[in-house]
Structure 1
Amino acid sequence: MNSSLAFTSRDAGGPADVQDATRRLPLADDKAMLRAAAELTRDLHVARGAIFWPDMLACVAVGYGALYAAMTAPTGWAILAGVIAVLALYRAGSFIHELTHIRQGALPGFRLGWHLLVGIPLMVPSFLYEGVHTLHHARQRYGTAEDPEYLPLALMKPWSLPVFVIVAALAPVAQLLRFAVLAPLSAVIPPLRRIVVERYSALSINPSFRRRAPEGAFRTMWLAQEIATSAWAIALVTLTATGVIPLRAFLVFLGVISAVAVLNQIRTLVAHLWENDGEQMTVTAQYLDSVNVPPPGLLAPLWAPVGLRYHALHHLVPSVPYHALGVAHRRLMKALGQGSTYDKASYPGLPGLVARLARSTMVSRG
């Protein structure tokens, strides 16, 4: 699904400040950093099932247990349980990012297990992300109009930031509409199917992104996931409408999904600096436009789970699994040191990043 609005950048005409001028200068690649990233992480590319499975299953157990408590407990306890459910299911859902990068067969059964426990129940099957997120990592696409996961938010109007976050709250409504209504209708209406595939089958933030129809084995996987998720969404609506599922339970479920989507959108807001206005960038420029929030920050694992706190590092070594990114970061910091190009992508926490982005949107550009 495309969850963003058609934001527009501000005019670049008129006098520009020094920061803007610097942004437009081409940035040469730091070859020493790129070489170190490749050499120091060669032994870290294996996804370890002994970490993936317990992590995901623990999140599922805590998340659904807390969700049930939120549906049934008195108000005060229900709120606390809801917060726990949001954090646990957000982490469980974040494994969709790992699924796009680990090779097929690397973790036997994990993809199926994740879909049965997380992707289908939360209505976020991985086909919405697989084949989309990899375009964001394509060297020639990052930060351009062809990047499904990029908007020059730092160059937009100040109101674009709160709208960017608030629109995510509508995610459960969009998901139900996508899978309970549009999917079955599009199966018998070919023109609608083309629209659904192009515009409502990607977890992207670029409103101009249009997805190509799937082919081959990926098409088979897509259809299996879509059919299963549609069946779940239709059953959920039907059972609620007939009173089998209490209305409160249904609304709590949608509220938790909405909160998960908002939290993820806030994380997305600070995953990059969003300072590129469509030009192709070197790998180093892409890295510096991305964000690491390494320790000692204690809250980052909550709002940027499953390795997402090392988002800039991930852009250097996208095939390194989440559980090895901390090791990779420490190795690179030891080898390259403070003040290096590598170090410049590290930030202390969420509030400062949000403030920086907000200030950037308010800078006068003529």
Structure 2
Amino acid sequence: MQQPLSPSGPTGASGASTRPKATRAQFLACDDRDMLRAARDLTRDLATARGEIYWLDLIASAGIGYGAMAGAILVSSVPLAVLLGLVSALALYRALMFIHELTHVHRDALPGFRLGWNALVGVPLLTPSFMYEGVHTLHHKRTQYGTVEDPEYLPLALMKPWSLPLFVLIALLAPVALLFRFAVLVPLGAILPPVRRMVWQRFSALSINPQFRRRPPEGEMRSRVFWQETCGAVWAWVLIGSMFALGWRPILIALAVVSFTATLNQLRTLVAHLWENEGEPMTVTAQFLDSVNVPPPGPIAEIWAPVGLRYHALHHLMPSMPYHSLPEAHRRLSDHLGLESTYQGANHPGLVVLVGRIARSTMGRGRG
């Protein structure tokens, strides 16, 4: 096994590293303890979630999203409707991504935020927080990341070429599938326990691993699931009933907006990791290097990876760090560890480069 790269070292005349980036394979057996120690020590003062930032960001994103959707429904100009629909999709995408924060921020840090998020975003988009809570944390477990027990991991870089477009495009069907789940399967499951068990195990988690089966909810989660599913089922039938009162146009536009949002999130998921693990347990450093940061410069990543998700690898080092603190944490670690550090191995230039990397890997598998 190669030795871990040092926190500092020689650079080229331009200041760029003269060594290749650290790779996951270098750290399958041991961690870079200097990096882990720096991540802990340099960011302690950044760990407090600021409620005013969360609430303002959420309300603004949801307000713009629903306002633009209403505009897309009401205007007669097709180009303007498309433009407003795009704005709506991007704003609601940002609002939706706060579900990721809900799973990590301590429940007492943001009083009322879970309820507010579910009322504004989770239930209206038929993606209440129970579909992520208790699921996403499994993805962060030291012994489960990248294994068959990880609900959010597939070795996509090691699969066949056709798997990538299928992985992204299947998200187009997400709004219809969610509508069917809440409008049909939830009421049916209330009557038929076998249906209820099947729906819970297989269709109640935002997972990408087809082998994942969710365990029954326990404790306070049971009550939370009941109320969120009940509200979701009622809202699903309100949406269906709206077709008779308002016609097809509003719900078709809403479904199109949410479909675009789901597809964009699936594309982000495609490049959130390098997907190069074949199922073995990994060190924290190896997990970090199998994950992706897309740091500045450039504002584009903030659009397709909002709410701190452009620092996804850093998030795997510090899962509880609030999203608004990640840019400063990244700056501190980059300055302290330097261009020759392991930390730089998780930094990547952008979406297109990452998609190309995974595509080349699958093409190699296709020829094999």
> Same fold by TM (over 0.5)?
yes
Partner of 1:33 in structure 2?
35
- Residue 212 of structure 2 aligns with an amino acid whose one-letter code is F
Partner of 2:160 in structure 1?
157
Deviations 1:307-353 (A, max 9, x none): 00000000000000100000100010011011210011001110000
Kindly state the Cα deviation for residue 235 of structure 1 after the two structures are TM-superposed. Answer: 1.4
Partner of 2:260 in structure 1?
259
Please give the alpha-carbon distance, in whole angstroms, between the structure 1 residues aligned to 2:238 and 2:91. 24
Q: Does 1:126 align with 2:129?
A: yes
Q: Does 1:215 align with 2:194?
A: no
Deviations 1:63-114 (A, max 9, x none): 1110011111110100000110010000000000000011112111111111
What CA RMSD, in Å, does the superposition of the two structures yield over aligned residues? 1.4
Please give the alpha-carbon distance, in whole angstroms, between the structure 2 residues aligned to 1:198 and 1:268. 22
Q: Where does structure 1 lack aligned partners over 5 or more consecutive residues?
A: 1-20
Partner of 1:237 in structure 2?
240
Q: Indicate the SS of the match to 1:43.
A: helix
Partner of 2:5 in structure 1?
none
Deviations 1:204-224 (A, max 9, x none): 000000000101101111111
Kindly state the Cα deviation for residue 42 of structure 1 after the two structures are TM-superposed. Answer: 1.1
Partner of 1:44 in structure 2?
46
Q: Does 1:349 align with 2:346?
A: no
Please give the alpha-carbon distance, in whole angstroms, between the structure 1 residues aligned to 2:197 and 2:352. 41
Please give the alpha-carbon distance, in whole angstroms, between the structure 1 residues aligned to 2:122 and 2:55. 15
Equivalent runs, 1:16-165 vs 2, <5 Å: 23=25, 26-73=28-75, 74-165=77-168
Q: Is the 8 A contact 1:314 1:320 kept in 2?
A: yes
Deviations 1:109-128 (A, max 9, x none): 11111111111101110000
Kindly state the Cα deviation for residue 35 of structure 1 after the two structures are TM-superposed. Answer: 0.6
Q: Is the 8 A contact 1:155 1:360 kept in 2?
A: yes
Q: Indicate the SS of the match to 2:212.
A: coil
Please give the alpha-carbon distance, in whole angstroms, between the structure 1 residues aligned to 2:254 and 2:336. 47
Partner of 1:227 in structure 2?
230
Q: Is the 8 A contact 1:23 1:276 kept in 2?
A: no
Deviations 1:25-76 (A, max 9, x none): 8342100000111111111111101100110111011111100111111101
Please give the alpha-carbon distance, in whole angstroms, between the structure 1 residues aligned to 2:40 and 2:197. 40
Kindly state the Cα deviation for residue 23 of structure 1 after the two structures are TM-superposed. Answer: 4.3
Please give the alpha-carbon distance, in whole angstroms, between the structure 2 residues aligned to 1:137 and 1:356. 24
- Residue 148 of structure 1 aligns with an amino acid whose one-letter code is P
Q: Does 1:270 align with 2:262?
A: no
Kindly state the Cα deviation for residue 24 of structure 1 after the two structures are TM-superposed. Answer: 9.2
Partner of 1:363 in structure 2?
364
Partner of 1:195 in structure 2?
198
- Residue 157 of structure 1 aligns with an amino acid whose one-letter code is K
- Residue 116 of structure 1 aligns with an amino acid whose one-letter code is A
Q: What is the percent sequence identity of the aligned residues?
A: 62
Q: Does 1:325 align with 2:326?
A: yes
Please give the alpha-carbon distance, in whole angstroms, between the structure 1 residues aligned to 2:165 and 2:26. 26
Q: Indicate the SS of the match to 1:146.
A: coil
Please give the alpha-carbon distance, in whole angstroms, between the structure 1 residues aligned to 2:301 and 2:83. 20
Q: 1:87 to 1:230 in 2, by over 3 A?
A: same
Q: TM-score, normalised by structure 2?
A: 0.91
Q: Does 1:249 align with 2:256?
A: no
Kindly state the Cα deviation for residue 246 of structure 1 after the two structures are TM-superposed. Answer: 2.4
Q: Is the 8 A contact 1:297 1:348 kept in 2?
A: no
Q: 1:183 to 1:45 in 2, by over 3 A?
A: same
Q: Does 1:179 align with 2:182?
A: yes
Q: TM-score, normalised by structure 1?
A: 0.92
Deviations 1:228-251 (A, max 9, x none): 1111001111221xx213211110
Partner of 1:294 in structure 2?
295
Please give the alpha-carbon distance, in whole angstroms, between the structure 2 residues aligned to 1:205 and 1:119. 19
Q: Is the 8 A contact 1:198 1:211 kept in 2?
A: yes
- Residue 312 of structure 1 aligns with an amino acid whose one-letter code is A
Q: Indicate the SS of the match to 1:187.
A: helix
Regions of 4+ moved over 6 Å: none
